[in-house]
Amino acid sequence: MTTAGQARVALVTGAARGIGRAIALRLAEDGLDVAVNDVEAGEARLHEVADEIAGLGRRSAAVVADVSEPQAVESMVERVVSELGHLDVMVANAGIAHVKPLLEVTSEEFDHLMAINLRGVYLCYTAAARQMIAQGGGGKIIGAASIVGYRPFPLLGHYSASKWAVRGLTQAAAMEWAQHGITVNAYCPGIVGTAMWDYIDEKLAENEGLRKGAAISKYSELIHLGRVSVPEDVSKFVSYLASPDSDYMTGQSVMIDGGIQFS
Ligand SMILES: NC(=O)C1=CN([C@@H]2O[C@H](COP(=O)(O)OP(=O)(O)OC[C@H]3O[C@@H](n4cnc5c(N)ncnc54)[C@H](O)[C@@H]3O)[C@@H](O)[C@H]2O)C=CC1
Ligand SMILES: CC(=O)C(C)=O
């Protein structure tokens, strides 16, 4: 639990690049101490992000862990608490995409994607909730869903299902943990120009016989505000979800997509 004058502490998963990095930097700008996580392959970039956070005058910790592994997630939260003192905001951002027709997805590929995108979010939500309940001061738990959690994209079928499930998990967690003063919400980005969309563009283009760059252009025609999203569009909204301004909001999965999908 934070006491007066103490900075709140956030943990952002999948923060070596893309949306996670932007969220981590924004929360640091907001005055939080921010621990960042990614897998071993992203370790060098993860340390750079932790250094950027320190450059903003905030404390940080870089924790390498695979969010699909229960013991790794437990240890990650323990390390954040031991290095930064407590945990007030969890952003379960880490995720992977996989572009493939449903009829060709193997059960191993399906399980691998669900292990990261759904079990990983579940493990981060529950590890954070246990810590926040023990602290006794409430908290903010935030997850990465997507517009495809409302309306799937073809060739992203199992990915879309994983994000749909994050919405369900977010609603159930909000119901169970409201009594502890914990709010649980998710963000649903649209088309954000990150490494993930570089991969999606390349694979969709292959499947549809288009040149590289053509798939993202085609899907971008759906965006009413007329431009592809940048990670900071999302981090501004997560800043709100992590702040006391969102204290009366829980169980919501909110589109931040420039006007693609209307609920
Ligand atoms: N880029 C987009 O258009 C959209 C992205 N999202 C979601 O937002 C989140 C972030 O996406 P981006 O920044 O675009 O992706 P990205 O691929 O650029 O970054 C994801 C980060 O997560 C890390 N990661 C992957 N598996 C991990 C694991 N098992 N444990 C820990 N870290 C792991 C990666 O190493 C990478 O640094 C994801 O959950 C994604 O599904 C949702 C809607 C749209
Ligand atoms: C990657 C993703 O979730 C979308 C909607 O593009």
Ligand at minimal distance from the CA of 222 is 2
Q: Which residue ranges of the chain lie beneath pLDDT 70? A: 1-4
Q: Residue 20 to residues 16, 38, 96, 130, 180: CA-CA distances in angstroms?
A: 7, 9, 12, 23, 26
List beta partners, residue 255: 188
pLDDT in tens, 220-239: 999 999 999 999 999 999 99
Check if 248 is active-site: no
Domain total of the chain: 2
Ligand 2 contacts (CB < 6 A) are 97, 146-148, 190-191, 196, 200
* 126 and 218 inside one domain: no
pLDDT in tens, 167-205: 999 999 999 999 999 999 999 999 999 999 999 999 999
Q: Distance between CA atoms of 171 and 169, rounded to whole angstroms?
A: 5
* 146 and 215 inside one domain: no
Q: Is the CB of 39 under 6 A from ligand 1?
A: yes
Strand order in the sheet with 60-64: 60-64, 33-38, 9-12, 89-92, 139-144, 182-189, 253-256
* 115 and 75 inside one domain: yes
What is the predicted pLDDT for the residue at 2? 65
* 105 and 196 inside one domain: no
Q: Is 49 annotated as a binding residue?
A: no
Domain range spanning residue 220? 191-228
What is the predicted pLDDT for the residue at 208? 87
What is the predicted pLDDT for the residue at 94? 98
Report which ligand 2 atom has the smallest distance to the Cα of 197. Answer: 1
CATH (domain of 57):
3.40.50.720
Q: Is 150 annotated as a binding residue?
A: no
* 202 and 161 inside one domain: no
Of 122, 125, 150, 159, the active-site residue reads 159
Determine the residue type at 35: A
